Amino acid sequence: MKVKPTEDEDGAVELRTDGGTSDQMFEDADPTDVGPLTQAKEILYEGLVAPAKIAWSDWRTKTGIVILGTFVLIAVLVDLHQNGYTILNDFLGLVGSPWELTEPSSAFGCSNGECAQGYERDRKPFQNWETPLGTDPEGRDILAGVVWATPRMLRMVVAGGVFSIGMATIVGTVSGYKGGTTDQVLMTLTDIALSIPGLPLVIVLIAVINPSSPYIIGVVIVINVWAGLARTIQSQVLSLREQSYVEASRTMGIRTPKIIQKDILPNLMPYIMVNFVYSARRVIYDSVGLYFLGFLEFETIANWGVMMNWAYANQGALTQSGPRYLIIVPMAPIVLLSFGLILLSQGTDRLFNPRVRTRHEGDTVEEEEEEDQVQPAMV
């Protein structure tokens, strides 16, 4: 912020107590008008451009962003395809790719009066570029299946991630900042949620409510994952609220929600980001696992786990002589997606570290500090 000189009304050169003149002192400090446009630009720079630059300067986040970006791109294209906009196939046709996306359906049977044009069965991967990842014993294109399940998976991930960090941030900041009875009650609840192992609870809940919407499945899977982050945030807030600048805001009579929003939350961003990634990973692991063993019901290829389930339960892929590629191929995107997330989270520490930011902007801060560990232990 620029400081506006107060004594420039008549423009006279006044002698100041420190011996200087106001003109000399504030020569380069003309009052700048911060219009809405400038403000928007600043917010854009602070919030997006600068973090993006830092993220891009680190190979881990860079690779992570590329991997996740690819998944998002595929998901968007496939989702458009599922809704009738065949941009992906138009593009593939232009490039002359032998493969194009069709709904993966079995070679047997007809649905809606249209009989599926199945591929040759049991085609191994990388042999025929019409189906690059091969086909399963029912003639489904495996690559199409993998791609087809992507949008739904990302929906689950987003729903689960947003729910878990939202819940954790609310519980953590409120209990940490309010303290007293609120704190004790909320933290007891958090501890209970924390000590219940997630998966059995999720399975039982799914048996009761039998969800099919990806959003609900995502939320159910992280039903107690928020607790770990809530604990971290609570302890962080406990120390933050004693900081002098927070105390200053309090003394100035700024209302609690505003203090939490302006003074507390920005400090918690690294924890929140990292935990978003970990919740997302949890959603991927658990949803695929639940589909894999058939705890979640399905009718079509709704998830990579469904393909693993077919390979495991119907084709005996886990027997000595079973068709192994059927179960290995759908595992690849799971590992890749979570690898992207892990890479991103490993670099996130730097993203929110003000010292790294300063260094990036050109100021020389020589001190090479060890990055704060904001990783949750293990989820």
Partner 1 sequence: MNWYVKRTGQALITLWAVVTLAFFLTRQMPGSAMERYVDRAQQNLGPNADPAQIRRAVADQMMFHPDDSFWEAYSTYMESLLTGNLGYSIEAGDNLNTVMADAIPWTLFVMALATFGLFGISLALGAIMAYKEGSLFDLSNTLVGMFTTSIPYYVAGVLLIIYVGFGDGFVTQHFPTRDRLPHTASPGFNLDFVIAAFSHATLPALSFILTAYGLLALSMRGNSIQVLGEDYVRVAQLRGLPERRIALRYVGRNAVLPLYTSLLLSIGFMMGASVILEQIFNYRGVGFWMWRAIDVMDVTLMMAVFLMITISVVLATFFADLTYGFLDPRIKTGDEGEAY
Contacts of partner 1 in 211-250 (CB under 8 A): 228
- Shortest Å, Cβ 295 to partner 1: 6
Rank residues 106 and 375 by Cβ distance to partner 1 and give the closer one.
375
Give me the least distance between CB of 357 and partner 1, in Å please: 20
Say which DSSP state 21 is in: B
Per the listing, tokens 């039998």 go with 210
Q: CB of 149: closest distance to partner 1 in angstroms?
A: 15
Task: State which of residues 83, 207, 252, 299 lies at the interface with partner 1 (CB under 8 A).
Answer: 207
Question: Per-residue DSSP letters for 37-105?
Answer: HHHHHHHHIIIIIHHHHHHHHSHHHHHHHHHHHHHHHHHHHHHHHHTT--HHHHHHHHHT-S-------
Cα(130)–Cα(98) distance, integer angstroms: 5
Asked if 191 interacts with partner 1 (CB under 8 A), we say yes
Taking the C-alpha atoms of residue 349 and residue 374, their distance in angstroms, rounded to an integer, is 7
**According to the binding rule CB under 8 A, does residue 324 interact with partner 1?**
yes
Q: Which window, 42-50, 85-93, 264-272, 281-289, contacts partner 1 (CB under 8 A)? A: 281-289
Check binding of 162 to partner 1 (CB under 8 A). Answer: no
The helix or strand, by DSSP H or E, that contains position 234, with its residue range, turns out to be helix 226-240
| By the rule CB under 8 A, 205 interacts with partner 1 | yes
185 binds partner 1 (CB under 8 A): no
The label of the residue with tokens 């003000």 reads 354
**Among 121, 87, 118, 85, residue whose Cα is nearest residue 103:** 118
Measure the CA–CA gap between 71 and 281, rounded to whole angstroms: 14
- Report whether 354 contacts 347 (CB < 8 A): no
Paired strand residues for 185: none
Q: For 21-30, which contacts have Cβ atoms below 8 Å and span 24 or more sequence positions?
A: 29/2, 29/3, 29/5, 30/2
Among 327, 329, 344, 351, binds partner 1 (CB under 8 A): 327
Residue 292 within binding range of partner 1, rule CB under 8 A: yes
Binding piece for partner 1, criterion CB under 8 A, among 44-52, 149-157, 262-270, 371-379: 371-379
Cβ partners under 8 Å of residue 179, min gap 6: 238
The answer to whether 346 contacts partner 1 (rule: CB under 8 A) is yes
**Residue type (1 letter), 184:** Q
Q: How far is the CB of 288 from partner 1 (least distance, A)?
A: 7
Task: Report if residue 200 touches partner 1, rule: CB under 8 A.
Answer: yes
Contact residue for partner 1 among 223, 343, 344, 356 (CB under 8 A): 343
293 scored as a contact of partner 1 (CB under 8 A) = yes
In angstroms, give the least distance from the CB of 197 to partner 1: 3
| Residue among 175, 221, 219 at smallest CA distance from 197 | 221
DSSP class of residue 6 equals: S
Per CB under 8 A, does 329 bind partner 1?
Answer: no
Does the footprint of partner 1 cover residue 13 (CB under 8 A)?
A: no
Report if residue 375 touches partner 1, rule: CB under 8 A: yes
> Which residue from 254, 342, 353, 365 is in contact with partner 1, where contact means CB under 8 A?
342
373 scored as a contact of partner 1 (CB under 8 A): yes
Query: Using CB under 8 A as the criterion, which residues of the chain lie in contact with partner 1 when the complex forms?
Result: 188, 191-192, 195-201, 203-205, 207-208, 228, 281, 284-285, 288-289, 292-295, 308, 318, 320, 324, 327-328, 331, 334-336, 338-339, 341-343, 346, 370-371, 373, 375, 377-379
